[in-house]
Amino acid sequence: MMAKIKAGLISLRDLFATAWWIFLIAGIGFVIAFQFVEPAPPRHVVMTSGSESGAYYQFAKRYAAILARSGITLEVRTSEGSVQNLDRLKSGEAQIGFVQGGVIAPPDESRIDEDPETWGLLSLGSMFYEPVWVFYQGETIERLSDLRGKRIAIGQEGSGIRQLAQRLLEDNDIDFRQNTLPISGLDAAEELQQGRIDAAFIIAAEHAPVVQVLLRSPGVKLMNFSQSFAYERRYPFLTRLTMPQGVADLVLDIPPADTRVLAPTASLVVRDDLHPALQNLLLQAARQIHGKPGFFQTANEFPSYMDGMLPLSSEAERFFKSGPPFLQRYLPFWLAVLVDRLIVLLVPVIALLIPLLRVAPALYSWRVRSKVFRCYGELKFLEDDLKNHYDPARLAEYRSRLDALDEEAAELHVPLGFTDLVYTLREHVNLVRSILDKKERE
């Protein structure tokens, strides 16, 4: 057993002595390849949403539940709305957030120091429609200009609906600073029901409690945007939608007629340094959460890239074309990330090793044989000396040289696969010794 272990160690020693430069080159290649490997994704990220009663917050909690299955902790922070979400994303307080369409001004309307492309933000696409509901009391209203002089709730500071309402009212020559109140959600619904305000801008999904309450409130009407085509042309981020008669309640026939509303889309925005694997995981969660049909959307209509105010992430672009990455379709998230990193790391190293390893066996064989060949060189020189310059007076020298060669051959440390060379060498030493014996007899 000890002999086998010793022979194995000899083989390893010769292998390392022969191929050390291959290991060195492979190590250098490994270090270089490592510079191009993405670090592992973080296990904790922050998402800025909206108020606890709003759709943003509810959707964010669903994202957190889905990401938790893959070992990612998604911290959901409430906010006043899209404007605050955008500020948090730009400052780095959050890595993910919902932003309402229209909150970011188009490039031709932005100041140079507020160019969206310089913010370090990317869009993962539009996730759902956010209908703009204008509820009112009194005579029928089909144009926003008819709200002039009325008391209007337009949402809290920092909310997307406040910014959008201001823009729409000013374009209809209504002084935004007069008769507008910073009230939103269910508070605005209560004020409208009690008659303390005349109209309220609400932006929420169709199933949101505030929308359902106001649709069923006596005396409260939903404005039908008669100029919806014009708004859609003037504001690229708005989409004209039709709420079919009776879709909210077939028994109560709500709404009582087809009603046209306007809707921006809510985009899922991330910082451009968010790990690509997390972006893909968010997109898979988005398809699961937002891909179902609703009042205004068809199945699998979302996520999609509908609001171009921010550049689309390259990961999202690939996702929309071909779906999730191949490895994430069949492997758990962390295993897929690990395999993907190893591929990036090992492929160039393996490509470098293949030609080197093809040379290594020949070098290894040459190194081992060279030990034997050195003895053969000395033996050949002695044989020529015996044949051509034999001197009886040097007989003891000849025998001493042969004994030394035989002893050196016997002590050669070679791998087991090359021991036949040693025995052949010793046979040849004995052959030369027989030549010497013949010369002595003669």
Give residue-wise pLDDT tens across range 401-412: 888 888 887 777
Q: What is the mean pLDDT of residues 99-108?
A: 76
Better-predicted residue by pLDDT, 6 or 387: 387
List Cβ neighbours of 333 (8 Å cut-off, separation of 6 or more): 70, 71, 72, 277, 281
Lowest mean pLDDT among 145-154, 160-169, 282-291, 344-353: 344-353
Query: In angstroms, what CA-CA distances link 97 with 69, 283, 315?
Result: 20, 13, 17
Query: In angstroms, what CA-CA distances link 128 with 104, 289, 303, 338?
Result: 17, 10, 7, 32
Whether 128 shows a pLDDT value over 80: the answer reads: yes
Lowest mean pLDDT among 135-139, 242-246, 327-331: 327-331
Under the banding of pLDDT at 50, 70 and 90, the label for residue 39 is confident
Whether 145 shows a pLDDT value over 50: the answer reads: yes
**What is the spatial distance between Cα 225 and Cα 131, in angstroms, rounded to a whole number?**
12
Q: What is the mean pLDDT of residues 378-405?
A: 83
Whether 334 shows a pLDDT value over 90: the answer reads: no
What confidence score (pLDDT) does residue 112 get?
41
